[in-house]
């Protein structure tokens, strides 16, 4: 009897997941690089464009930023958008691209260059034709890294970039620009990186003035910070009850006010000092308040495999688009219909 009950639950959950996912595809089948990671996606008037870093292996100096555009449901072949040349004699790896379409329709590409994560620097490029061509690389000011992994948030003309550093402990902070990255300011660290850590925050909107940011950590939990002045200042980082496997997450606020989280629902082993855990399964969860989350779908689930670093947006047709790393070999793109999402229980 117990077997049939569990089978019933499994079938119901699988059916719900299959119903919410209306498309699942690889952005490319073959490429000039063997490994890839850390994708980003944005909607433009010309369609979708995605970016990621690819090369021999993360950290190698042949790792570049690549893009692909989706027109009429078909993704283009990967094209290199940025490399890691600092000058004619120095080349490092590229990391963590973030695409953002500014209100003036200028497409911004933020990324990092460095010999290793703790020593990377912030860079950006601009496109006036939605990613068909890119301008010259621009080095961000010293101490500014730009949005470190997840998308910026625009609040009354202020672009709020969720950022972090990993040198001397993992610490979350926010960076600000009012002119599409020409000038910058920076907020303080929100944790000490020792007793509590955090990197790669993702911003959620609760009201006109209240924002929440959730982030990856080494503590075995998703950690959070809150702002009550529309992103200008933020509270000290605190832990939540949601698990984190020391891997990237992403979260957005949907047009209907609910919040969507994509993450690995994995608790790391208790004796793991840096919070590392498996990077499978990859889950989608929904929340009314950003505090209590309910899983609504499993995008991937294969023991020993890596499905990581999701990036999520909601497009003008209300559909949800998620890209993520698939076994470090490909970038996967999933489309979901929020009309099929179950409503979380009232809190």
Question: Which pLDDT score is estimated for 212?
Answer: 99
Lowest-confidence region among 5-19, 166-180, 263-277, 321-335: 5-19
Q: What is the three-class DSSP state of 98? A: strand
Cβ neighbors of 80 (< 8 A, separation 6 or more) are 64, 65, 66
Closest CA to 28 of 82, 80, 77: 77
Domain ranges of the chain: 2-340
Evaluate if residue 77 carries a pLDDT over 70: yes
Helix, strand or coil for residue 147?
A: coil
Does the pLDDT at position 2 exceed 80? Answer: no
Least confident among 10-14, 50-54, 168-172: 10-14
Q: Is the pLDDT of residue 15 over 50?
A: no
Q: Are 51 and 81 in contact (CB under 8 A)?
A: yes
Give the integer Cα–Cα distance in Å for 322 and 325. Answer: 10
Q: Is the pLDDT of residue 7 over 70?
A: no
Q: How far apart are CA 68 and CA 75, in angstroms?
A: 6
Nearest Cα residue to 297 out of 240, 337, 329: 337
SS3 316: coil
Best CA proximity match to 287, nearest among 217, 220, 341:
341
pTM: 0.94
Q: What integer is the mean pLDDT of 70-78?
A: 96
pLDDT in tens, 19-59: 689 999 999 999 999 999 999 999 999 999 999 999 999 99
Fold of 2-340: Neuraminidase (2.120.10)
């Amino acid at each position: 009897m117990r077997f049939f009950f569990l089978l019933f639950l499994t079938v119901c959950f699988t059916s719900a997941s299959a119903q919410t996912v209306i498309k699942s595809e690889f952005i490319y089948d073959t490429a000039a690089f063997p490994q890839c990671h850390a994708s980003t996606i944005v909607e433009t008037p010309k369609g979708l464009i995605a970016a990621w870093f690819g090369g021999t292996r993360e950290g190698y100096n042949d790792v570049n930023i690549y893009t692909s555009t989706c027109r009429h449901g078909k993704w283009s072949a990967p094209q290199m958008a940025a490399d890691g040349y600092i000058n004619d004699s120095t080349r490092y790896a590229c990391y963590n691209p973030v695409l953002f379409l500014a209100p003036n329709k200028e497409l911004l590409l933020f990324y990092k260059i460095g010999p290793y994560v703790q020593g990377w620097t912030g860079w950006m490029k601009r496109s006036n034709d939605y990613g068909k061509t890119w301008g010259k690389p621009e080095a961000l000011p010293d101490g500014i890294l730009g949005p470190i992994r997840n998308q910026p948030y625009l609040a009354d003309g202020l672009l709020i970039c969720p950022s972090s550093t990993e040198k001397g402990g993992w610490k979350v902070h926010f960076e600000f620009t009012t002119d599409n990255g020409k000038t910058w300011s920076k907020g303080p660290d929100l944790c000490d990186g020792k007793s509590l850590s955090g990197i790669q925050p993702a911003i959620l909107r609760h009201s006109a003035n209240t924002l929440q940011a959730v982030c990856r950590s080494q503590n075995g939990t998703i950690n959070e910070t809150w702002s009550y002045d529309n992103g200008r200042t933020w509270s000290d980082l605190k832990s939540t009850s949601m698990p984190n496997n020391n891997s990237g997450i992403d979260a957005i606020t949907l047009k209907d006010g609910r919040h969507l989280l994509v993450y690995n629902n994995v608790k790391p082993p208790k004796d793991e000092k840096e919070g590392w855990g498996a990077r499978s399964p990859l889950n989608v969860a929904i929340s009314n308040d950003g505090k209590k989350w309910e899983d609504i779908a499993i995008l991937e689930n294969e023991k020993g495999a890596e499905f990581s670093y999701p990036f999520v947006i909601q497009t003008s047709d209300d559909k949800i688009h998620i890209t993520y790393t698939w076994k470090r070999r490909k970038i996967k793109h999933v489309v979901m219909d929020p009309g099929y999402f179950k409503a979380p229980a009232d809190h």
